Amino acid sequence: MNNFWIVVDTVRIPDALKQLKMIAVLETVLPLYAGSDFDYLIEQSPLVINLGSDETILEKWRTWSLFDSSSVIFTMDAEVDQYQLLDHLQALLTVKIEQTEFLFRFYTNVLWQQVAADLNHEDMATILGPASRLYWVDSSQNVQSFHKVHDKKKMQEKADETRPYHLTSSIFKQWV
């Protein structure tokens, strides 16, 4: 069974937690920056929230005001420890492309609209970490996603080898 974990930008949606409590049962709420290198920005931290296992949440999510542009959803096996996901997402905040470090705002939909079609399989596995799929809402209000396509264990081991994570898709090289 998979759980759906939303990562929401609370700078863009300051009352995100309040809004989500009115429309969904929240299993777990974790500040993304807590205990990370960005802990000093805890007041502006995106939130990582377990929305449970009901797949209908995806259709509801795309209609929530501002969430369509300021959040993404990861799916993760319910057996995986939530802090493994949090640790991975914190590590994903700073990535290397070529030899340059970047702040990687993976929780914004615009990013995925620009790069998802050009991601290589290794970068997909790196970005997903312990999760199995990433969802975002495109500019036409459609839910889009990508998932791991190779041996998940092998790709995860490779992704865990180095931190900061290195992204190698050609789409990212234009950032350097």
Q: State pLDDT tens for residues 114-165.
A: 999 999 999 999 999 999 999 999 999 999 999 987 655 555 555 556 789 9
Q: Give the bridge partners for 165, in sequence order.
A: 95
At 28, which helix (H) or strand (E)?
strand 28-31
User: What residues does each domain of the chain span?
Assistant: 2-173
The pTM score is: 0.92
Q: Write the pLDDT tens digit of every residue in 22-33.
A: 988 898 999 999
